[in-house]
Amino acid sequence: MIGIFDSGVGGMTVARAIEKNLPGRRLVYFGDLARTPYGSKSARTIRKYALENSEFLLQKGAEIIVIACNSAASVASGMLRDKLPVPVFEVVTPAVRQVVSMGSRGRIGIIGTRATIKSQIYEDKIKKLRPDFQVFGQPCPLLVPLVEEGWLNKRETKMIIRRYLHSLKLKNIDTLVLGCTHYPLLKKLIQSRIGRQIRVIDSSRAIAAELAVFLQKHPNLVKILSSAGENEYYVSDVTEAAQATAERIFGRRINLQLRQGKDNA
Amino acid sequence: MIGIFDSGVGGMTVARAIEKNLPGRRLVYFGDLARTPYGSKSARTIRKYALENSEFLLQKGAEIIVIACNSAASVASGMLRDKLPVPVFEVVTPAVRQVVSMGSRGRIGIIGTRATIKSQIYEDKIKKLRPDFQVFGQPCPLLVPLVEEGWLNKRETKMIIRRYLHSLKLKNIDTLVLGCTHYPLLKKLIQSRIGRQIRVIDSSRAIAAELAVFLQKHPNLVKILSSAGENEYYVSDVTEAAQATAERIFGRRINLQLRQGKDNA
């Protein structure tokens, strides 16, 4: 079983991409809605939550952990690799590989939450592979609440995106990484604002593609099921807005199960 | 000692108002930044958090508890009154008393988070006193993130406020209650958008005034200190944005102390 966690429902863009790429594997998802969002919290707090979420997924039978939250990937992936007995994947590295593997003039923009941008994880990972690249980070903290409200095509959302992307436009970037799993829902607006000629990389799709390759090489690591079965979607809180966002992402009804636990017992 | 809790730093508008009205009393504040915001979470989760926060304040010596968060007041104040050994105040009731005590034609608008508006607490409490009044609730979920970002005077903030207030304007209200402790920071924008002739009630000031009257009648309930001493401000997470908002509210440097505990240990 592939275990995936996120601070809320944004990581379902990752779950959906994995589901499409790996139809024979079962998924168990956990969204920490009782403590969402992570992106404006401290690294210390995010690390604690990431460990608790992973332990829950292991209990549920996860044979592999996917950190589907850029904020958690940015500050907690090393710690999880040290502590967990299973392979740990995260959304940042595959996006970085895409950045450097495709033709780029080396002017890269990254948008994400405060926690992700402050961690400079994209910059560090890109520069390790391509020290000649220039990387420009821009925190966009209001985009997560706008997506969660379903304001995907409102004038205010467009204006806020324009404001956030303004400085990146001036930097003359050629590649823009959507460094937050909520942002694929705004991809069209972002693409049209930054310009058609800019390559926009979706970290959700990048991780799904990389996981498919990895599981082809290591076919026994995760049990292959004869029938796809029901994937399981757990959350630490249930709200109507979350339910609506989940269904917007999957395009079908999703049964969000409340995790009984210390955070919301 | 007066114990005050909120989901984050918004409740500091309440702490500041109490500090002004009751200069001789010491305060201990707790802001649950590790799990903020509450307003988009379920009643069940908010109740659990409210109880944990109150128990922390009691440990710190609180002789009275003030729920400085409208969302928690809306869904958890009855439960806290049942369970806690000290008097419990909350921000909703004093604002409701102001609504009915001043001349009104009985057309009342309430703005707040989703949790507060969905609970209909303002409507229920106003109608208990004045069944002839009409109450119109409007959730404004994006205003908390906008305040926390410090976007207090941006064009997008003005547009979003206009969008939220539009339906209330059509209802021809004469009174508008700021049913969230973050909103006093946007009071000028809200007042100018809703119209100068509309009475805007700030729930932070209302609770401070009511508490002052109560403590005059019950002078021994909370120890009066000869010197004001240092008030204590605890949070479950420390971030730069929270520090900046705290200082914006108080107009001075505030020492946010990290609470060591199960949520962020």
Percent of chain A with pLDDT over 90: 82
pLDDT bucket at A224, cuts 50 / 70 / 90: low
Q: Quick check: A113 contacting B, CB < 8 Å?
A: no
Does A264 sit within 8 Å of B45, measured CB to CB?
A: yes
Chain B residues touching A139 at Cβ < 8 A: none
Range with the lowest mean pLDDT among A42-51, A62-71, A225-234?
A225-234
Q: Give the alpha-carbon dihedral of B253, B145, B4, B102, to 10 degrees.
A: 110
Question: What's the pLDDT at B229?
Answer: 65
Question: What's the pLDDT at A265?
Answer: 38
Contact B71, B39 (CB under 8 A): yes
Cα-Cα end-to-end distance for chain A: 26
DSSP A69: -
CB contact set of A154 (below 8 Å; sequence gap of 6+): A146
Supply the mean pLDDT for chain B.
Answer: 92
Q: Quick check: B124 contacting A, CB < 8 Å?
A: no
Q: What is the pTM of this model?
A: 0.89
pLDDT in tens, B112-151: 999 999 999 999 999 999 999 999 999 999 999 999 888 9
Instruction: State how far the Cα of B5 lies from the Cα of B245, in Å rounded to an integer.
Output: 16
Does A44 sit within 8 Å of B265, measured CB to CB?
A: no
Supply the mean pLDDT for chain A.
Answer: 92
Angle at the Cα of A260 from the Cα atoms of A257 and A263, rounded to 5 degrees: 115
pLDDT bucket at B265, cuts 50 / 70 / 90: very low
Instruction: State how far the Cα of B16 lies from the Cα of B13, in Å rounded to an integer.
Output: 5
pLDDT bucket at A168, cuts 50 / 70 / 90: very high
Does B148 sit within 8 Å of A145, measured CB to CB?
A: no
The active-site residue out of A14, A178, A180, A242 is: A180
Range with the lowest mean pLDDT among A86-95, B140-149, B185-194, B221-230?
B221-230
pLDDT bucket at B207, cuts 50 / 70 / 90: very high
Angstrom CA distances, B237 to A42, A115, B257, B258, stand at 7, 13, 9, 6
pLDDT bucket at A4, cuts 50 / 70 / 90: very high
Instruction: State how far the Cα of A17 lies from the Cα of A124, in Å rounded to an integer.
Output: 26
Q: Quick check: B155 contacting A, CB < 8 Å?
A: yes
pLDDT bucket at B261, cuts 50 / 70 / 90: low
Structure tokens at A119: 């961690």
pLDDT bucket at A241, cuts 50 / 70 / 90: confident
pLDDT in tens, B46-105: 999 999 999 999 999 999 999 999 999 999 999 999 999 999 999 999 999 999 998 789
Range with the lowest mean pLDDT among A118-122, B23-27, B190-194?
B23-27
B180 is annotated as an active-site residue: yes
Q: Quick check: B51 contacting A, CB < 8 Å?
A: no
Does B241 sit within 8 Å of A114, measured CB to CB?
A: yes
Question: What's the pLDDT at B149?
Answer: 87
Instruction: State how far the Cα of A219 lies from the Cα of A211, in Å rounded to an integer.
Output: 11
pLDDT bucket at A189, cuts 50 / 70 / 90: very high
Does B44 sit within 8 Å of A264, measured CB to CB?
A: yes
Higher-pLDDT residue of A81 and B223 is A81
Does A151 sit within 8 Å of B156, measured CB to CB?
A: no
Task: List % helix, strand, coil for chain B (3-state, nearest 5).
Answer: 50, 15, 35
CA distance B54 to chain A (A): 16
Does B34 sit within 8 Å of A239, measured CB to CB?
A: no
A140 is annotated as an active-site residue: no
A144, closest residue in chain B (CA to CA): B145
Question: Which of A41, A117, A166, A260 is the best mutation test for B, with the most CBs of B within 10 A?
Answer: A41
Q: Is the pLDDT of residue B217 over 60?
A: yes
Q: Is the pLDDT of residue A261 over 70?
A: no
Question: What's the pLDDT at A228?
Answer: 55
Higher-pLDDT residue of A221 and A187 is A187
Question: What's the pLDDT at B16?
Answer: 94
Chain A residues touching B262 at Cβ < 8 A: 262
Q: Is the pLDDT of residue A6 over 90?
A: yes
> What ipTM does this complex have?
0.86
CB contact set of A193 (below 8 Å; sequence gap of 6+): A158, A161, A162, A165
A159, closest residue in chain B (CA to CA): B156
Range with the lowest mean pLDDT among A9-18, A109-118, B221-230, B240-249?
B221-230
Higher-pLDDT residue of B51 and B21 is B51
Q: Are strands B199-202 and B175-178 parallel, antiparallel or unpaired?
A: parallel
Can you list the domains of chain B with their CATH numbers?
A: 2-90+205-258 (3.40.50.1860), 93-203 (3.40.50.1860)
